Amino acid sequence: MSSAAIIDGKAFAANLRQRVASAVEPFVTLTDRKPGLAVVLVGEDPASQVYVGSKKRATVEAGMNSFEHRLPTSVSQNELIALVETLNADAAVDGILVQLPLPPHIDDKAVIAAIDPAKDVDGFHVVNAGRLAVGEDAFVPCTPLGCLMLLKDHLGDLSGKNAVVIGRSNIVGKPMAQLLLAENCTVTIAHSRTQDLPEVVRRADIVVAAVGRAEMVTGDWLKAGAVVIDVGINRLEPEAGQGKGRLVGDVAFDDALARAGAITPVPGGVGPMTIACLLRNTLVAAYRRAGMSAPEGI
Ligand code: NDP
């Protein structure tokens, strides 16, 4: 039985982070300052604390400034927006990231709308979503951008491929579909109301699974040789004697190996690409704000 190639997102992300770090040096020489990323964290959500910690470490490792703002859960929406406006006006800040989710009394749409689109390195602002949709230069959300980089690295030209994106969130599914369309794929977006999803997926040369349901996509859903990008991060119930359950994707990995042409593992596939693309977007924002283009190949 054939076995799929494993797409090593961890290695690709390490290489991208290195390329970003190399492009930070000339920026510092030209502008006499480091690119800066401001990360805003509201509340004590443990997962968000881990993400923010990793983003800070990676930012500093790439030679950039990390500005961290931690606010209590009790902060009001107006206070949070006032902080975003201060960061918009701060010349040392090139990128602003407000860690989601926000507490229920805060409307995340209103907060994202307050971010200067030129500093919106998460690519969540409607101006960037709109630019992506009409084919203009935009900041693209980091996870789908990372998925596209892995696909192009593995397949080269994506033109004419049948791509199925499972999931239609604003942060993964929709921008992923836009990116694949811009690469001339024939794109289907599937979601919870899609009928006969296995049959839809079976037509795909490229499958991007961004659902949040552990091991939902099984090997028999796949066309032989399909390239599978698994965005899902799901923690299984711990087995007896284990503290934490295993992390799995939205694709039944072992099962898919026998049919797919290539597949990203979980962990070690899409996950590491998200932070690497955040650094990439921050670097691009810094160059643009300084009136320059980021070096080729970033
Ligand atoms: P959302 O919950 O926002 O969206 C999930 C999507 O999956 C929805 O569009 C939903 O459809 C669809 N869906 C749910 N159930 C089914 C089903 N049975 N069949 C088909 N479609 C279904 O999730 P996100 O997009 O934010 O994240 C998706 C996954 O990716 C999660 O596991 C998340 O943890 C992971 N993730 C990983 C990242 C990384 O860095 N690797 C970054 C971001 C997310 P509908 O719209 O109809 O409800």
- The answer to whether the beta carbons of residues 250 and 232 sit under 8 Å apart is yes
Q: What are phi and psi of 24, to 5 degrees?
A: -70, -40
User: What are 24-35's pLDDT values in tens digits?
Assistant: 999 999 999 999
CA–centroid distance, 247 to ligand 1, in Å, is: 15
Instruction: Give me the pLDDT at residue 138, please.
Output: 97
Strands 247-248 and 234-235: antiparallel
- 142-272 maps to CATH 3.40.50.720: yes
User: What are 53-97's pLDDT values in tens digits?
Assistant: 999 999 999 999 999 999 999 999 999 999 999 999 999 999 999
- The answer to whether the beta carbons of residues 298 and 283 sit under 8 Å apart is yes
99 is catalytic: yes
Mean pLDDT (whole number) for 196-211: 98
Q: Do domains 31-123 and 142-272 have the same CATH topology?
A: yes
55 is catalytic: yes
Cβ < 6 Å from ligand 1: which residues? 143, 166-169, 171-173, 190-194, 197, 210-213, 231-234, 270-271, 274
18 is catalytic: no
What pTM was estimated for this model as a whole?
0.97
Cβ contacts of 206 within 8 Å, gap of 6 or more = 151, 155, 158, 161, 162, 163, 164, 180, 185, 226, 227, 229
Which of 34, 94, 119, 122 is catalytic? The answer is 122
Mean pLDDT (whole number) for 154-170: 98
Instruction: Give me the pLDDT at residue 1, please.
Output: 60
Ligand 1 pocket mutation, candidates 231, 234, 273, 275, criterion most atoms within 8 A of CB: 231
Torsion angle, CA of 163/164/167/171, rounded to 10 degrees? 0
CA–centroid distance, 82 to ligand 1, in Å, is: 31
Instruction: Find tokens 């935009």 and name the residue.
Output: 138
The residues spanned by each domain of the chain are 31-123, 142-272
Which is the closest atom of ligand 1 to the Cα of 172?
25
CA angle 261, 203, 152 (to 5 degrees): 45
Write down the CATH number for the domain with range 31-123. 3.40.50.10860
Least confident of 81-95, 194-208, 237-251, 257-271: 237-251
Question: CA 163, CA 11: separation in Å to the nearest integer?
Answer: 24
Residue 233 has pLDDT above 80, yes or no: yes
